[in-house]
Amino acid sequence: MDLRLEGITHHYDGLLALDGIDLAVRDGETVAIIGPSGCGKSTLLGIVGGLLKPTAGRVVTVGAPRADSLNPFTYVFQDFALLPWRTVAANVALALEHHRLPRAERQARVQAALALTGLADFAAALPRQLSGGMRQRVGIARALVVRPAVLLLDEPLSALDAQTRELLMEDLLAIWARERSTRLYVTHNLDEAARLADRVVVLSRRPGRIREIVAIDVPLAERSGPAIAGVREHLWALIRDEARDAEREVQHG
């Protein structure tokens, strides 16, 4: 399912946060959104996911979700938001509870999501028994179990240490090679954007406007090597000055 953002503009109590965002995301594409602090990245994701109503503009979907998709849009957040008294399998199954599915299909979906995220051997574990990376895998499995047409990821790796982040980036690439969806990925981390995205949307300092869209032409197999360093440097050059200004604004504001 294709996704189109047409003239998205948003105000908070008179403060212009986003101004005239136009973006087309193709079916199966991963688009990362980066920019200085406070530029409206998470606000834009909230508008796409229906959590916020834009002041102006609209979000349009083109094409129908696949037949087995239960939710057109699904989030993965920075906060794992797992129920501590539920097992891994039960946390993943939570996303299915308001859907009327036969028990066998429900179980099959949960097992498939656990297998896809490397959690099959941890189905009976409780969240407190898992590392941070494994808990985030549960959050990702919970999103994937409904087989969303559009997957919205808001800083999903930012709470993890560097090694765990590296492992999960590799896992996400493997998952996306097997699980077809359209993906919008908000991050402050330029390595994540360069490694995971097909294109990177660079937003300006508030009000957020699209400054540049950078296509990542490096093959996925080479994304962890020196070939991606030039992409990261280009992204940093685009936001460096405005990131510095935004940091000063936060500190003094």
Phi and psi torsions of 184, nearest 5°:
-115, 125
**Is there a domain that residue 101 lies in?**
yes
Confidence band for 229, pLDDT divided at 50, 70 and 90: confident
Give the strand pairing for 2-12 and 56-62.
Answer: antiparallel
Q: Is residue 76 part of a domain?
A: yes
Total structural domains within the chain: 1
H, E, C per residue of 193-221: HHHHCCEEEEECCCCECEEEEEECCCCHH
- Does any domain span residue 234? yes
On whether residue 3 sits in a domain, the answer given is no
Most confident residue range from 124-128, 166-170, 204-208: 124-128
Which residues are registered as beta bridge partners of 74?
Answer: 151
Task: Give domain status of residue 7, yes or no.
Answer: no
Q: Is residue 18 part of a domain?
A: no
Mean pLDDT computed over 145-155: 94
Q: In this structure, is residue 40 part of a structural domain?
A: yes
Q: Find, among 59, 55, 130, 58, the residue nearest to 91 by Cα.
A: 130
CATH number at residue 53: 3.40.50.300
Q: Global pTM? A: 0.91
pLDDT > 70? residue 252: no
User: What is the span of the domain harbouring residue 67?
Assistant: 27-196+217-252
DSSP structure string for 17-60: EEEEEEEEE-TT-EEEEE-STTSSHHHHHHHHTTSS--SEEEEE
Residue 182 is assigned to a structural domain of this protein: yes
* The pLDDT of residue 250 is above 90: no
